[in-house]
Amino acid sequence: MNNPILKIENLSHRYSRDWAIRNINLEIRQTGILGLLGSNGAGKSTTMNIMCGVLNQTEGQVLVDGVDMRTNPEEAKTKIGFLPQSAPLYMDLTVDEYLIHCAWLRLMDKKIIPVALKEVKERCGISHFSNRLISNLSGGYRQRVGIAQAIIHRPQLVVLDEPTNGLDPNQIIEVRALIKEIALDRAVIFSSHILSEVQLLCKDIVMIEGGKIVFADSIEAFNNYVEPHSAIVTLANPPQKNEIMKIAGITDVNFLTDNQLRVFFKDSPRITEHIVQTSVINGWRLTEISLDKTSVDEIFAQLSNKSNQN
């Protein structure tokens, strides 16, 4: 059987007396984008720094295509590309000078560097800046150069730590498209504390809170976990509160205006259907209904509490 692209076993790290992460286990066997989600300070960056060989762990093991990152870091790092939260750019070099330097650091064969350089510049949309100093590039293009250095050696695994942080909306869209393209033929770990970013890009999610994995499953399973708990309903002919409370699953009703109300419910996946049917039967004249999703902070709290109880 082929080795997993990445295998992390019982990974723990302590700064002084405090554990930053504890017993992290993770395995990636396929291409695509894995979202590493967690609030600030959850342990995401520590985990990525260890898996990329920037930091030695206190306990546990990281294997990249079967190669131990701690005992054989040079070989392991040829199989992995890393873009930390602050891109490691040399501002006084041109784009070409910098990328060639990165290729040397990755121990690439000198004969294939020119072809790899041309290929990565085209892929990242920076060919027209080959001879420009990195200090003279915009934030979005600097980020593209940062991604280019992470993939120039054609690694099996690419790790991106908050790659859209600090970019404007147009730059974010461009970088998202680039990440999706990169993930077509390799595994990508995409770290963020922004739920919507992860939901747009990733097919699987690992959530870290308090230094522990509190969720690891598909994006579909995660979205199913993000349950609505209330809805805003607009009725042209609203009844009294007690009439609405008779609908199965509704636990409370608050009138926001004469015609708009918030209904709270529990364990009722067909709640909107029940509201619509009841409105039609009773002539309430429903004009609008929208579900409120649980906020990301509440999700973090729920998953952390669930993990602590196990």
Dihedral pair phi/psi, residue 219, rounded to 5°: -65, -30
Return the pLDDT at 298: 61
Residues 176-222 pLDDT 10s: 999 999 999 899 999 987 777 888 899 899 999 889 998 899 888 87
Residues 96-130 pLDDT 10s: 999 999 999 999 999 999 999 999 999 999 999 99
CA distance 71 to 63: 10
Grouping H, G, I as helix, E, B as strand and the rest as coil, residue 164 is: coil
Q: Which residues of 174-191 are buried (b: 16+ CB within 10 A; e: fewer)?
A: bbbebbeebbeebbbbbb
In DSSP notation, 180-221 reads HHHTTSSEEEEEES-HHHHHHH-SEEEEEETTEEEEEEEHHH
Residues 213-239 pLDDT 10s: 988 998 888 766 665 678 889 999 999
Q: Which CATH superfamily is domain 6-225 in?
A: P-loop containing nucleotide triphosphate hydrolases (3.40.50.300)
- Mean pLDDT of the residues in the chain: 89
Percentage above 90 pLDDT, the chain: 64
Return the pLDDT at 282: 94
pLDDT tier for residue 306 given thresholds of 50, 70 and 90: low
Residues 37-95 pLDDT 10s: 887 788 999 999 999 999 999 999 999 999 999 999 999 999 999 999 888 999 999 99
CATH 3.30.70 location in the chain: 230-292
CATH of domain 230-292: 3.30.70
Residue 1 above 60 pLDDT? no
Return the pLDDT at 228: 61
Return the pLDDT at 309: 56
Amino acid at 142: R
Total residue length of the chain: 310
pTM metric for this prediction: 0.76
CATH 3.40.50.300 location in the chain: 6-225
145, 168, 21, 163: which is closest to 91 by C-alpha? 145
